[in-house]
Amino acid sequence: MNKDTDMQTDVRPVIECRNLTRTYKEGPATLTIFSDISLTVGAGETVAIVGSSGAGKTTLLNLLGGLDKPSTGDISICGEQIHRMSEARRARFRNQHLGFVYQFHHLLPEFSARENVMLACTLGGMSVREAGQKADAMLDQVGLGERLAHKPGELSGGERQRVAIARALVNEPECVLMDEPTGNLDEQTGESVQRLIEGLRDRLGIAFVVVTHDMSMARSLGRVLKLEQGRLHPLPVAS
């Protein structure tokens, strides 16, 4: 075990990355975004990834989520090598095992909060009736039980982000990947989204990987790793 960037407990690993390298070809030159990154994240663990703009945080998150493939190295999510799956299998796997939350919520503007969350279920083959029940329960958990019929344009920024979190969680994924989930929110709303993440992690045992520029949120979520000059370094725990 790599003691620097691996979890320190013996809980079941949800994410296991070994020696990840991502490069881009730029004419005759090769641009290395990061190299030789290894990382293990266990069930119910939260890992925050920080680093300056352009350090490669989103690139790393995209690899973990199967949106991009590593140049070299292995990624195992829930014991399966996501980067080696066929396109169709990967889409199914992502729907079943992973949830995604972005800085800009990417909700469909024409659909209600309920319908946006339901869509994540029906895409996976669930009946409309069951999807409706799941969406209602999940939206209730994130405190939006009274806003089911509101469209994104009729919700506040924090409420929209909570709908996006409900959508990411409704299929009960083992792992949720978040890119700047509070980046677009004021301090108070950001803190309430952070508490929501912590509550869901503790209640449901989901592993969270959260890319953020907010160091205080990173520290309070748990383990903090800094992506710097193409390497992932653990930051010491704040006293």
Q: Kindly state the helix (H) or strand (E) to which residue 46 belongs, with its residue range.
A: strand 46-50
User: What is the closest distance, in whole angstroms, from the C-beta atom of residue 130 to ligand ATP in the complex?
Assistant: 36
The Cα 58–Cα 72 span in angstroms is 17
Residue 77's beta-bridge partner residues? 15, 80
* Alpha helices in 11-122, H assignment, sequence order: 57-64, 87-97, 113-122
User: What is the closest distance, in whole angstroms, from the C-beta atom of residue 158 to ligand ATP in the complex?
Assistant: 21
Angle between helices 157-169 and 128-141 (to 10 degrees): 130
Residues that bind ligand ATP (CB under 6 A): 24, 31, 33, 51, 53-59
- Closer CB to ligand ATP, residue 114 or residue 226? 226
User: What is the closest distance, in whole angstroms, from the C-beta atom of residue 126 to ligand ATP in the complex?
Assistant: 33
- Closer CB to ligand ATP, residue 50 or residue 120? 50
**Alpha carbon distances (Å) from 23 to 82, 87, 119, 136:** 19, 21, 35, 43
- Closer CB to ligand ATP, residue 53 or residue 188? 53
The Cα 191–Cα 200 span in angstroms is 14
User: What is the closest distance, in whole angstroms, from the C-beta atom of residue 56 to ligand ATP in the complex?
Assistant: 4
Query: What does the block give as tokens for 134?
Result: 């799941």
Closest CA to 71 of 5, 137, 24, 118: 24
Query: What does the block give as tokens for 58?
Result: 């989103």
User: What is the closest distance, in whole angstroms, from the C-beta atom of residue 48 to ligand ATP in the complex?
Assistant: 13
- Closer CB to ligand ATP, residue 13 or residue 181? 181
DSSP 3-state of 237 = coil
User: What is the closest distance, in whole angstroms, from the C-beta atom of residue 149 to ligand ATP in the complex?
Assistant: 34
- Closer CB to ligand ATP, residue 58 or residue 112? 58
- Closer CB to ligand ATP, residue 44 or residue 56? 56
